[in-house]
C-alpha cells in the first residue's frame, strides 16, 4: 500500500479525541495518512504584500535609475496593480499571527525570503496592467528571483526579528509552523539588459562570494571555459530567468546547503516552486539528502498542470516522494464554487480515492486559487461553500491571503491579485462573514483527526448537496465524521442510513446530539450554504462499511 507510516504520531493525535475505544491492537486500521503534517491547515501569503510591520526596512530609495518601491501599473476604471516592493515584512506577519491562528490555521507559507536584486529589471518585455509572462520593469518583491539563497533579503527582517526569531515566536507563542518556499530551477533574470545590472544573473554563496554570473549573455552565448557559467544550462527556459544546471553536483550541493540552513532556523516544511522544470533525478537526490538530516520532512510542490497522471509522478518514491498542490482539484473547485457554479458531482473525479496515480492523495495540498492564477470569482456564499468543502474533504487545505474577505476576487496577477493586503483590510476581515464561517469549519477540522487523516467514503455528491464520511481507526482508537454539505440557497433535507452505525452522534458546529438506534437513519436539515459534521467515537462495526474501508485501504 502506498502511504507514509508514522504510527506513533497518529496514536498521539488520536489520543486527543474526546472519547475513544479501548486500546485494542487487534482492530483493523483505517486511515488515509498518518503523516504529522496532514494535521495542519496552511495560510499562504505573499510576504511583501501582507502587512508592513516595520517601515524602516522598506528601502524606498533603493534602485537608483531602476527604483524598486511602489511601481504602479495603472488600469482602466481606476484599477491598478503593482510590481514594486510595498513594505510587507516579518514583523507584519508576527503582528498578525493571532489573526491567522484565530481563523483555524496552524501553518504559514510565506513566499521566498532570500536575497533578490536591488533594482527593477531593465531587460525583457515591459509588463503592463493585465499583462503576463513579461518581466521588464518588475522587481523581486515576490522573492522568486534569488541571488543569494543563504541570505535574508533586506526588506523583511527587523533588528530584533530575523527568520529564526520569527519561527521561534510563531511556534512558542501561537503554535504556528512555517513553510519554506524554495526555488531550484532558476535564479534571477539574466540577459537582455541594455547594460548588465548588478546582481541580475548572479549567485552568491554563504560567505557572499560570487559563484556564478550569467554576465548578461544569452544561454547560447555562455562559455564552457568560464567557471562562472558552470551553474547554467545553455538553453532558455522561463523568459529571461537563469536556467540552473541540475546535472552539476555543485548546484545540488548549493541548494541542499542553503535550504538546510533555513530548516535549521525553524522551517517545518518545504513548498517547491516550478518543480516540473527540473528533472525527477534532481529532486530524488535533493529530497533524500534533506530527509537524511530531517527524517520524514514534508515537502509539497507546484507542478502547474491539470493532468493528475502528470503531477502525480512527483509523489512517487522513485522521484523523491514529494507531495503536490492539487491543481486538478483547484480546477474543479474554481468551477463548482464560482459565480457560474456547478454541482458537487464535478468534484468527485479529482479525489482519486482508489486506484489513483498519487503515492497518497490524502497528503496533497488542496486549494481553489493562489497568486499565480485568477483569484476565485465567487460570491461570499461561494467562498463559504468552498471552505466548507476544502476543510472536510481529503487533503491539506491551503488558503491564500485575503480570501477570508473575498479580496480582489476574480483578478489575475497583474490586475490586482497580489495587491497589498494591509492592516486596514485585516481589521475589516475580522468582521467579514466569509472569515467567520471559515474559522468555524477550520476549527472543526483542527479538533478532529478523522478530518485530518481519515479515509473518505463518499455517499453522494450531486447538485447542491454532498454527503460523505471521514473515518480514522488506528491503534485501538476510532472516530467517524459524517459530513453533510449544502451549497444551495434553501435548506436541504438529508436522510442518511447507509453505513450509519448506532450510537451517540454529536454535531460539531451546533453541539446537537442524536442517539441513533440500530437500523435508524439520521434525518436532519442543513441550512443554505451550510455544513454539518456529525461525529461518532468508537470502533467501526458495520460489516458493509468495514468492507468499503478495507477496499479503500487496499487500493489507496
Q: What is the pLDDT of residues 289-348, one digit of tens each?
A: 999 999 999 999 999 999 999 999 999 999 999 999 999 999 999 999 999 899 999 999
- Please give the Cα distance from 402 to 425 (Å, whole number): 8
Close Cβ partners of 62 (under 8 Å, ≥ 6 residues apart): 68, 69, 85, 118, 119
pTM: 0.95
State the CB neighbour count (10 A cutoff) for residue 253.
Answer: 11
- Please give the Cα distance from 518 to 497 (Å, whole number): 10
> Please, what is the angle between helix 380-390 and helix 433-447, to 10°?
10
- Please give the Cα distance from 291 to 525 (Å, whole number): 48
Q: What is the pairing mode between strands 269-272 and 298-301?
A: parallel
DSSP characters over 14-55: HTTSSS-----TTS--B-S---GGGG--EEEE-HHHH--S-G
**How far is Cα of residue 467 from the mean position of the Cα atoms in its chain?**
25
Q: Are 269 and 298 in contact (CB under 8 A)?
A: yes
**How far is Cα of residue 506 from the mean position of the Cα atoms in its chain?**
30
- Please give the Cα distance from 312 to 359 (Å, whole number): 7
State the CB neighbour count (10 A cutoff) for residue 539.
Answer: 18
Q: Are 504 and 513 in contact (CB under 8 A)?
A: yes
Q: What is the pairing mode between strands 177-182 and 269-272?
A: parallel
Torsions phi, psi for 167 (to 5 deg): -60, -40
In terms of CATH, what superfamily is 455-554?
Answer: Golgi alpha-mannosidase II (2.60.40.1180)
Q: Which of 315, 238, 265, 372 is nearest to 33 (CA)?
A: 315
**What are the boundaries of each domain within the chain?**
42-325+398-436, 455-554
Q: What is Dmax (Cα atoms) for the chain?
A: 80
- In 294-359, alpha helices (H): 308-311, 327-336, 348-351
Q: Are 419 and 86 in contact (CB under 8 A)?
A: no
Does residue 456 come out as left (phi exceeding 0), alpha (psi in the -120 to 50 range) or beta?
beta
Cell, residue 507: 454535531
Domains 42-325+398-436 and 455-554 share a fold: no
- Walk along the chain (556 residues) and give the pLDDT tens digit of each residue: 343 333 333 333 443 443 344 455 589 999 999 999 999 999 999 999 999 999 999 999 999 999 999 999 999 999 999 999 999 999 999 999 999 999 999 999 999 999 999 999 999 999 999 999 999 999 999 999 999 999 999 999 999 999 999 999 999 999 999 999 999 999 999 999 999 999 999 999 999 999 999 999 999 999 999 999 999 999 999 999 999 999 999 999 999 999 999 999 999 999 999 999 999 999 999 999 999 999 999 999 999 999 999 999 999 999 999 999 999 999 999 999 999 899 999 999 999 999 999 999 999 999 999 999 999 999 999 999 999 999 999 999 999 999 999 999 999 999 999 999 999 999 999 999 999 999 999 999 999 999 999 999 999 999 999 999 999 999 999 999 999 999 999 999 999 999 999 999 999 999 999 999 999 999 999 999 999 999 999 999 999 999 999 999 999 8
CATH architecture of residue range(s) 42-325+398-436? Alpha-Beta Barrel (3.20)
Cell, residue 463: 447538485
Torsions phi, psi for 253 (to 5 deg): -60, -40
State the CB neighbour count (10 A cutoff) for residue 221.
Answer: 12
Amino acid at each position: 500500500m502506498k502511504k507514509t507510516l508514522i504510527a506513533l504520531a497518529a496514536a498521539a493525535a488520536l489520543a486527543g479525541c474526546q472519547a475513544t475505544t479501548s486500546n485494542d491492537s487487534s482492530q483493523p486500521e483505517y486511515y488515509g495518512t498518518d503523516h504529522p503534517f496532514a494535521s495542519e491547515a496552511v495560510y499562504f501569503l505573499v510576504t511583501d504584500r501582507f502587512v508592513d510591520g516595520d517601515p524602516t526596512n522598506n528601502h524606498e530609495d533603493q534602485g537608483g535609475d531602476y527604483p524598486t518601491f511602489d511601481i504602479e501599473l495603472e488600469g482602466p476604471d481606476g484599477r491598478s496593480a503593482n510590481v514594486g516592493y510595498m513594505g510587507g515584512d516579518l514583523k507584519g506577519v508576527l503582528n498578525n499571527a493571532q489573526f491567522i491562528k484565530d481563523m483555524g490555521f496552524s501553518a504559514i507559507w510565506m513566499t521566498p525570503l532570500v536575497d533578490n536584486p536591488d533594482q527593477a529589471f531593465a531587460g525583457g518585455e515591459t509588463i503592463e496592467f493585465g499583462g503576463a509572462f513579461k518581466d521588464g520593469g518588475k522587481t523581486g518583491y515576490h522573492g522568486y528571483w534569488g541571488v543569494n539563497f543563504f541570505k535574508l533579503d533586506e526588506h523583511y527582517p527587523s533588528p530584533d526579528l530575523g527568520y529564526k526569531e520569527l519561527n521561534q515566536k510563531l511556534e512558542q507563542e501561537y503554535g504556528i509552523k512555517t513553510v519554506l518556499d524554495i526555488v531550484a530551477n532558476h535564479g534571477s533574470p539574466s540577459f537582455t539588459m541594455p547594460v548588465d545590472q548588478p546582481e541580475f544573473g548572479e549567485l552568491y554563496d554563504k560567505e557572499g562570494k560570487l559563484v556564478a554570473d550569467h554576465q548578461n549573455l544569452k544561454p547560447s552565448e555562455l562559455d564552457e571555459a568560464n567557471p562562472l557559467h558552470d551553474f547554467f544550462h545553455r538553453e532558455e527556459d522561463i523568459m529571461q530567468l537563469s536556467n540552473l544546471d541540475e546535472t552539476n553536483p555543485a548546484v545540488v550541493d548549493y541548494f541542499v546547503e542553503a535550504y538546510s540552513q533555513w530548516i535549521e532556523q525553524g522551517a517545518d516544511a518545504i513548498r517547491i516552486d516550478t518543480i516540473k522544470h527540473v528533472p525527477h533525478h534532481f529532486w530524488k537526490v535533493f529530497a533524500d539528502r534533506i530527509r537524511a538530516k530531517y527524517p520524514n520532512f514534508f515537502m509539497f510542490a507546484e507542478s502547474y498542470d491539470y493532468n493528475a497522471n502528470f503531477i502525480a509522478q512527483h509523489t512517487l518514491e522513485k522521484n523523491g516522494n514529494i507531495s503536490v498542490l492539487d491543481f486538478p482539484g483547484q480546477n474543479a473547485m474554481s468551477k463548482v464554487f464560482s459565480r457560474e457554479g456547478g454541482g458537487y458531482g464535478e468534484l468527485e473525479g479529482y479525489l482519486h480515492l482508489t486506484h489513483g496515480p498519487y503515492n497518497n492523495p490524502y497528503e496533497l495540498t488542496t486549494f481553489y486559487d493562489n497568486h499565480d492564477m485568477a483569484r476565485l470569482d465567487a460570491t461570499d456564499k461561494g467562498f463559504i461553500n468552498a471552505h466548507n468543502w476544502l476543510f472536510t474533504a481529503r487533503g491539506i487545505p491551503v488558503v491564500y491571503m485575503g480570501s477570508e474577505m473575498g479580496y480582489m476576487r476574480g483578478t489575475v496577477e497583474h490586475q490586482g491579485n497580489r495587491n497589498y493586503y494591509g492592516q486596514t483590510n485585516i481589521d475589516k476581515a475580522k468582521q467579514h462573514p466569509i472569515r467567520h464561517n471559515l474559522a468555524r469549519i477550520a476549527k472543526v477540522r483542527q479538533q478532529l483527526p478523522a478530518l485530518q487523516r481519515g479515509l473518505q467514503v463518499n455517499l453522494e455528491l450531486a447538485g447542491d448537496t454532498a454527503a460523505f464520511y471521514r473515518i480514522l481507526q488506528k491503534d485501538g482508537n476510532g472516530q467517524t465524521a459524517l459530513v453533510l454539505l449544502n451549497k444551495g440557497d434553501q435548506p436541504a433535507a438529508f436522510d442518511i442510513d447507509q453505513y450509519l452505525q448506532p450510537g451517540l452522534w454529536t454535531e460539531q458546529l451546533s453541539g446537537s446530539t442524536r442517539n441513533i438506534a440500530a437500523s435508524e437513519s439520521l434525518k436532519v436539515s442543513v441550512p443554505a450554504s451550510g455544513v454539518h459534521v456529525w461525529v461518532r467515537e468508537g470502533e467501526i462495526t458495520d460489516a458493509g462499511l468495514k468492507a468499503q474501508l478495507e477496499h479503500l485501504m487496499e487500493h489507496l
